[in-house]
Chain A
Amino acid sequence: MLISKQKPLEEIMEYIEGEKKVFLVGCKGCAEGWESGGEREILEMKKKLEEKGKIVTGHVVVDMLCDKALSAIKLKNFKKKIDEADSLIVFTDGAGVQVVAELVKKMVHPGCNTISSGGAHAEWKGAERCMECGNCVLEYTGGLCPIARCSKHILNGPCGGSQYGKCEVDETIPCVWHLIYERLKEIGRLDKMEMFVAPKDWSLSLIAGPPVKRF
């Protein structure tokens, strides 16, 4: 069970500044359980965004968004509405956001902060994708997590040791900043990487904050 909490609406509005049409994605797994991205919250968010003048081209609440194969099938059914949108906002934990970013060649905004894994991890096999840092930065990184996947947790990467797309620490690991660069280039949003990302609020993280689950 990954515990997530919706980001403040103002933060989400900053993310989609300059965009008119959005597509919303929720999850019937953990996000519904924690009321951060189930059917009800997605509909509420749709209403809030429409009140702020945005067009919601559609929405989908996937059973287990962190299951990439299942999500691929689900999102395919909404291809037209997704194509119509300028970007997607995903209301679930960091793993879910990263699944959508891998499936869709568009800007994917995180709608939630992942607070804790509650003792378990998402369904995504093969690699750790979300470190429950509590202050999701996927907005700046094209939907690929530098906290979970960069050896130095750099927010303004890549560092000087990245060569041939590999991490200097272990050449079997891809340099996530290289992947971020390619992804942002592909979706025409390299401006995100040229932006200065300020020091992170680590106090919300289980690694640096107090050893309690905040939910």
Chain B
Amino acid sequence: MKTKSNLERVLNAGYFAVTAEVGPPQSADPEVIRKKAKLLSGYVDGFNVTDGQTAVVRMASWAACLIGKEFGLDPIVQMTCRDRNRIALQMDILGIAALGINNVLCLTGDHPKFGNHPHAKGVYDIDSVQLIKIVKDMRDEKKFQNGEPIPYEPRLFIGAAENPFADPFEFRVLRLKKKIEAGADFIQTQIIYNVPKFKEWMKRVCDLGLHEKVKIIAGVSPLKSVGAAKYMKTKIPGMDVPDEIITRLQGVPKDQVPKEGIRICVDIINELKEVKGVAGVHIMAIEWEETVPEIVEAANLYPRPKF
């Protein structure tokens, strides 16, 4: 064990892990997070809080993570390079470790153009791969990015994202390899709807033996409506929503669409469980967190292991 992370323990013990994503509020209201955290308690091994997802100003990931921690949940702080340079990022890494957070997910971050402050200057002093290496060096080499020693190192379980559906497809596995070499302990993937394409990617991952070096947690998300599916297909960069998914949602009466969306999600999880190298699922029920317990139970992933 490199850390005190519950997620690390679950993965190391060989359980099929379950994590979920929580969107923080566009306000200072802690009750929003408390409500969502209560829902997830007992159903997940760790929960992410996004860091200004789509470049919209929201409660800081670390702060919302601390609130969620009150409910016995293991938080995964998301950290993007969009808004902070290497100085600020390292300060936050020290800070979250000191606050008893055990997991960090290193991301480059959505461009400011997509958000509600499109005129902001994107920082991008470093990229996600470099951030992974910085956290790893802080933890294992006890060194800051500038090489100076750290007397009390941050012990964080290091996560990274990868998108099997982005281009160039052939390079995606090599980029995953780069992230592993930089120090990633676990990977949470982009939301998967195109399972055959994901399987092809996983095959390449396994061919290189990468599934033995990193824990791959496959991203899933229940669709609430046909409109949401179409929006994801056309408007979200790097998403791959096959027509069959949309057809399946269109094939049920309108009031049954959310239920069908959940069923599709459960079906995908069940398929992913059988894919070699997949160590867990990450449920991104965007502003629909209340469906997570139902999904976890329907996919026979409840109860979660206790140590």
- B→A interface (CB under 8 Å): 81-82, 86, 108-111, 113-114, 122, 124-130, 133-134, 145, 161-163, 165-168, 171, 174-175, 177-178, 181-182, 190, 237-238
Residues of B within 8 A of A164 (CB): 167
CA distance A153 to B190 in the complex (A): 22
**Residues of A91-127 whose CB lies within 8 A of B:** none
- A→B interface (CB under 8 Å): 151-165, 168-170, 175, 178, 181-182, 190, 193-194, 196-200, 202, 208
Whether the pair B178, A162 counts as a contact (CB closer than 8 A) is no
Residues of A within 8 A of B145 (CB): 199
Whether the pair B86, A199 counts as a contact (CB closer than 8 A) is yes
Q: Which of A161, A194, A196 contacts B238 (CB 8 A)?
A: A161
Whether the pair A163, B122 counts as a contact (CB closer than 8 A) is no
Whether the pair B111, A169 counts as a contact (CB closer than 8 A) is yes
CA distance A200 to B237 in the complex (A): 27
Whether the pair A161, B237 counts as a contact (CB closer than 8 A) is yes
Whether the pair A160, B124 counts as a contact (CB closer than 8 A) is no
CA distance A178 to B175 in the complex (A): 13
Q: Which of B82, B109, B124, B167 contacts A162 (CB 8 A)?
A: B167
Whether the pair A160, B161 counts as a contact (CB closer than 8 A) is yes
Whether the pair B238, A155 counts as a contact (CB closer than 8 A) is no
Residues of B within 8 A of A153 (CB): 124, 127
Whether the pair A194, B124 counts as a contact (CB closer than 8 A) is no
CA distance A147 to B124 in the complex (A): 10
Whether the pair A202, B127 counts as a contact (CB closer than 8 A) is no
Whether the pair A152, B124 counts as a contact (CB closer than 8 A) is yes
A178-B167, A194-B177 given; A155·B130 CB < 8 A: yes
Whether the pair A194, B125 counts as a contact (CB closer than 8 A) is no
Main secondary structure of the interface of A (DSSP, over half): loop
Residues of B within 8 A of A199 (CB): 86, 125-126, 130, 134, 145
Closest 6 CB pairs of A and B: A168-B237, A160-B163, A161-B237, A156-B129, A154-B127, A161-B238
Q: Who on chain B is nearest to A165 by CB?
A: B167
Residues of B within 8 A of A158 (CB): 166-168, 171, 175
Q: What's the nearest-Cβ distance from chain A to residue B43, in Å?
A: 27
Residues of B within 8 A of A156 (CB): 127-130, 175, 178
Most chain A Cβ neighbours within 10 Å, of B130, B165, B171: B171
CA distance A170 to B124 in the complex (A): 18
Residues of A within 8 A of B130 (CB): 155-156, 197-199
Contacts beyond the supplied A168-B111, A181-B168, A196-B133: 4 A-B pairs with Cβ under 8 Å:
A156-B175, A164-B167, A165-B167, A198-B133
Most chain B Cβ neighbours within 10 Å, of A168, A197, A200: A168
Whether the pair B166, A157 counts as a contact (CB closer than 8 A) is no
Whether the pair A160, B162 counts as a contact (CB closer than 8 A) is yes
Whether the pair A169, B129 counts as a contact (CB closer than 8 A) is no
